[in-house]
Copies of this chain bind each other. A is one copy, B any other.
Amino acid sequence: MTDYIKQTEQALYDYLPDLNCREKELIESMKYSLEAGGKRVRPNLVFSFNELCNGKTDAAVPFACAVEMIHTYSLIHDDLPCMDNDDMRRGKPSNHKVYGEDTALLAGDALQSLAFEIMTSDKAISQSSAAACCKAVNTLAAYCGARGMVGGQVIDIINENKSAPLEVLREMDYKKTACLIKAACELGCISANADDKLIKSASEYGECIGIAFQIQDDILDVTSTDEELGKPVGSDNENAKSTYVSLLGIEKCRELVAELTDKAKTALNAFDGDTTALCDFADYLASRKK
């Protein structure tokens, strides 16, 4: 998947507006957070499903970058003082610590707009089709909006420092984390003009690995060392916040991760192509140590 990461990162910078303008600081702030990327999980999923559906790689590029821009905007806004108030993100000062809260807020806003702009450019349309670009915009917008990612963040806020029941935790994680991963999987299929049955299978895979990812996060929060995790372990417990581990215990959580990973892999049976990379990716997420 290293090639996909390189391709994503080059395309992300190419999509950014030129720095030679009065609002240079805004563009720098957008670039700063795009550069501070992690594993590029979501773009990788777009490219992988595009390949699995025999799509043209070029058609996946704008959708892959769009999902990453949405993910990046959500991290910038998440770190703001009125939200999680995090000074650091992936070992670097958060966007607002470098550019100020006002510019950070606006950089997030502009990244969201840019995501939808690049998905509907003449070039994007010529590489898939206007119908595919519309479907991709509609899918991504729905999954990242009020009934998706942002809705999940609000459920998180409402249940802060509260012991929430499992069904609330499940809905929160589904919306906060799994929705954007689902979107990435679906967009990969859409970029290859795949049919609805395949899109649905990709969506199922995305949902399963998305929820498994979140449960694994909760497990690592209690089993990992600070050094392995790159952030203080046990931070969930300090906030009296419900986690999968606090509600179900570690053993049950490990079983759940394994079950969901199997379910994700089974969903891939709908595809004719080689699903090895996506099976390995599901296993990798389930066994990760940070």
Show the binding face of A for B, using Cβ within 8 Å: 17, 21-23, 25-27, 30, 73-74, 77, 80-83, 100-103, 105-106, 108-110, 112-114, 116-117, 119-121, 125, 129-131, 133-135, 137-138, 141-142, 144-148, 150-155, 157-158, 168, 171, 175
Whether B102 contacts A157 by the Cβ 8 Å rule is yes
Whether B109 contacts A150 by the Cβ 8 Å rule is yes
Closest to A168 in B: B22
Whether A25 contacts B158 by the Cβ 8 Å rule is yes
Known pairs A22-B171, A135-B120; A141 contacts B113 (CB<8 A) = yes
Whether B77 contacts A150 by the Cβ 8 Å rule is no
Chain B residues with Cβ below 8 Å from A121 are 138
Whether A146 contacts B23 by the Cβ 8 Å rule is yes
Whether B120 contacts A134 by the Cβ 8 Å rule is yes
Whether A150 contacts B25 by the Cβ 8 Å rule is no
Chain B residues with Cβ below 8 Å from A137 are 116-117, 119-120, 134, 137
Known pairs A27-B146, A146-B113; A105 contacts B83 (CB<8 A) = yes
A137 shortest CB reach to chain B, Å: 4
Q: Which of B25, B103, B141, B150 contacts A116 (CB 8 A)?
A: B141
